[in-house]
Amino acid sequence: MITPEFWSIPPGSLTPAQLADKTAVLHGRLLDISKRFADVRFATSLAAEDMVMTDTISKANAKIKLFTLATGRLHQETVDMVKTTEDHYGVAIEKVYPKESDVQAFINQYGMNGFYDGEEPKKACCGARKIKPLNAALLGADAWITGQRREQSTTRTELNFEELDDSRGIAKFNPLFDWSEADIWAYIKQENVPIHPLHLKGYPSIGCEPCTRQVKKGEDIRAGRWWWLQSDSKECGLHVNQ
């Protein structure tokens, strides 16, 4: 039996000078956002892009609050990564949990793992475990920040640096929108940013444990997310205006 070859961390392609220029621009973006808005919050999944964001927020001393969606179905490595990040940067990451009643309502209708049955139950599960908690986490915020990049998927190719989150009535920023995957890893290597353990095991994109798997070499980097659904269904709804 042939063992499949999985995705691996790409080699960096930037010179130190090029990376320094990109980093300076990123720092400037974050500082500008934190000056324009009184209450800015960053949603981190602890994956590579979000670790770059955490590192730059810390080094730029930007006034941006960090939180993570503790869905209840995360890999243990992700749960552990929260503390690793807090210890490394000396920051507090707010853990935002879903309401037990929302989770139970999903289970009553679809079953614990009913999201495998199709797009609608998948959306319902993400709604209970991610979207409603995100809404709660952003109450009172003036703006929020993501680690999204244009290169990540076909649904993000038109991604802008700044947009209006219509459903929540606040500004939304994607400071890494124009960074490549190679840029991300060049930064992580140069700045010794903590790496999520699953990235070392063939996971380029990390979500909830039952909905994420390793990606084979040559596959789309989001192919491991909701792999049982069509290729255009690789979003949970967090970044879709409701």
Task: Quickly list DSSP for 7-22.
Answer: P-PPPP---HHHHHHH
Quickly list H helices, the chain.
16-36, 48-60, 76-89, 100-110, 119-126, 132-137, 181-191
Q: Would you say 238 and 228 are in contact if contact means Cβ atoms under 8 Å apart?
A: no
Q: Is 211 among the residues known to form the active site?
A: no
35: buried, middle or exposed (CB in 10 Å: 19+, 13-18, 0-12)? Answer: exposed
Per-residue pLDDT of the chain (242 residues; tens, 9 = 90+): 677 899 999 987 788 999 999 999 999 999 999 999 999 999 999 999 999 999 999 999 999 999 999 999 999 999 999 999 999 999 999 999 999 999 999 999 999 999 999 999 999 999 999 999 999 999 999 999 999 999 876 666 779 999 999 999 999 999 999 999 999 999 999 999 999 999 999 999 999 999 999 999 998 888 999 999 876 655 555 545 54
Which of 235, 219, 224, 233 has its CA nearest to residue 198?
A: 224
Q: Residue 55: helix, strand or coil by DSSP?
A: helix
Cβ partners under 8 Å of residue 92, min gap 6: 66, 86
Name residue 132's beta-bridge partners: none
Model pTM score: 0.92
Structure tokens at 219: 């596959």
Q: Delineate the domains of the chain, giving CATH numbers in brackets.
A: 37-211 (3.40.50.620)
